[in-house]
Chain A
Amino acid sequence: MENMPEFTLHRPDTAEEAAKLKASDDSSRYLAGGTDMIVNVRRGIEAPETMIDLTAIGEITQIAVDGDGLRIGAGVKLADLCVHADIVAKYPAIAQAAASVAGPTHRSYGTIGGNLCLDTRCLFYNQSQWWRESNNFCLKHKGEVCHVAPGGKRCFAAFSGDVAPALMVYGAEVDLVGPGGERTIPLPDLYRNDGMDHLTLEKDELLVSIRLPAPPAGSLSAYEKSRIRGSIDFPLAGCAVLLTSDGGQLSELQIALTAVNPFPQMVKGTDDFVGKPLDDEALDAIRDIVRTQAKPMRTTTVRPWYRRRVVGALARKLVMRLASV
């Protein structure tokens, strides 16, 4: 028998009921595919008294046409996202990002909702109870200091979900349901730059779906991640790019990053490249603004130096490839 802490499991069949249960107990947690949550429970990082399993909620498992765009239920499995015809055709970065998550088995039951609400990661945090105790815990959980930046009071654990940046470049929004009803916010607003508390989700809110507007006419997009192994590896850095170009000039450029900050982020200043020739100098400048906005810290076994270099290299490579310069 593997060691498992005790909790009470609920299996609601509506989103509203799930949110209500969530509110009933401060320590309660949602459980979707469980590919992150159960790992964390087994490591003693999460110790909920109430576990709310979301897999019985039918209403969040659909991908539906929504006006010109799409609406993706939070319970949709990553494997289904990878092969969905509309997504592959119109939102290829999402299909590519989803296909790069963990391994095929993880994707067959891991959900997009879980991917977006993934806890931030750090090599001092994603460890066993004995390990963290031996290391006097850390700010993010039970401890007094951050081992990454010992002087400070901030946590730099990196958000390492692959799909968020891919959704962001298309201008995705998310629908949240709480006891007070439903609200829709731009996906970037779901996050804040704080490794300890990176989700703006209220304690009793549930992410139910993601809305995608129609992609800009003629736009091209892609996602790529850096990792040591080709499978079962979180991104060291991930980059999504969407652009439209005509005649060697960009008319739109969106870049979003993951795994290089406590939150997935849109790169600022990409508008500056619109309407200008996309030459080597511009490509280098794109690489450099990405590098300055990425602030990886020593949260992985691979040095932050590389993650910063590579995220710029990925952005440059993707822009070059998509604009075929």
Chain B
Amino acid sequence: MKSYLSLQVNGRQRDDAVSGNLLLVDYLREVVGLTGTKIGCDGGECGLCTVLIDGKAQHSCLTLAATCNGKSVETIESLGDGGRLSAIQRGFHEKLGAQCGFCTPGMVMAAEGLLRENPEPDEETIRTEMASNICRCTGYVKIIEAVQFAVEELKSKKEAA
């Protein structure tokens, strides 16, 4: 049985008929065609599928698409700053927060969720608040530097404004 799903994906309104058992990650990747969000495990263990739902980080692999009715979903594809990388993305680029890049979309979205709530987290907070996301390449060292880079960049932007 399909139900009516009306939501915002990356700021755009969408209306679809979806089955009750459709996972959000499959909806995003296969129905909408946004393959930036990755799948790394069989459910809830790696954080690769992290997206923002109404601004909060959530695993799209444990979320039913139909329960997002009326909500706003944001994926890695929504980020950017006038065609260029956003501050967090720039941090990941410059500081080598991404090696193979497969954990990166989820990692960046987790960082995005964190900085919206807490724009100036210390290292300890970055560690505990991103600890649902596994990376197998970096040992996390440079991911932390990437987030710290973004914190500084956003701070100086705010001061400039």
Contacts and interface: CB of A to CB of B under 8 A. Distances in A.
Interface in A73-109: 102-106, 108-109
Contact of A38 (B1, B26, B43): B43
A72 B142 CA distance: 40
B148 interface: no
Contact of A106 (B42, B59, B64, B113): B59
A106 B59 CA distance: 8
B77 interface: no
B132 A106 contact: yes
Contact of B47 (A8, A38, A103): A103
A185 B57 CA distance: 34
Interface string A294-325: 00000000000000000000000000000000
Given A1-B26, A34-B64, A53-B64, A232 B56 contact: no
Contacts of A8: 1, 20
B42 A42 contact: yes
A2 B128 contact: no
A2 B41 CA distance: 11
B21 A9 contact: yes
A35 B44 contact: yes
A4 interface: yes
A230 interface: yes
B52 to A, nearest CB: 10
B57 A105 contact: yes
Contacts of A6: 19-21
B73 interface: no
B94 interface: no
Interface string A97-123: 000001111101100000000000000
B57 A9 contact: no
B133 A105 contact: yes
Contacts of B66: 9, 11, 53
A232 B130 CA distance: 11
A5 interface: yes
B132 A51 contact: no
Contacts of A53: 64, 66-67
Chain B contact-residue range equals 35 or more
A104 B129 contact: yes
Nearest to A105: B132
Interface string B6-22: 00000000000001111
A60 to B, nearest CB: 15
A231 B135 CA distance: 13
Interface in B30-65: 30, 39, 42-45, 47, 50, 53, 56-59, 61-64
A9 B42 CA distance: 21
Residue from A5, A8, A9, A42 having most chain B Cβ neighbours under 10 A: A9
B130 A42 contact: no
B98 interface: no
Interface string A43-61: 1000000010101100000
A28 to B, nearest CB: 13
Contacts of A56: 67
Contact of A34 (B30, B62, B131): B62
Contacts of A139: none
B138 interface: no
Interface of A: 1-2, 4-9, 11, 31, 33-35, 38-39, 42-43, 51, 53, 55-56, 102-106, 108-109, 128, 230-232
Given A38-B44, A109-B53, 7 more contacts: A4-B21, A6-B21, A11-B69, A35-B62, A39-B42, A105-B132, A109-B58
Interface of B: 1, 3, 19-23, 25-26, 30, 39, 42-45, 47, 50, 53, 56-59, 61-64, 66-67, 69, 110, 113, 128-134
- 9 A-B pairs closest in CB distance: A9-B20, A103-B132, A231-B131, A105-B132, A39-B43, A38-B62, A4-B21, A105-B57, A34-B62
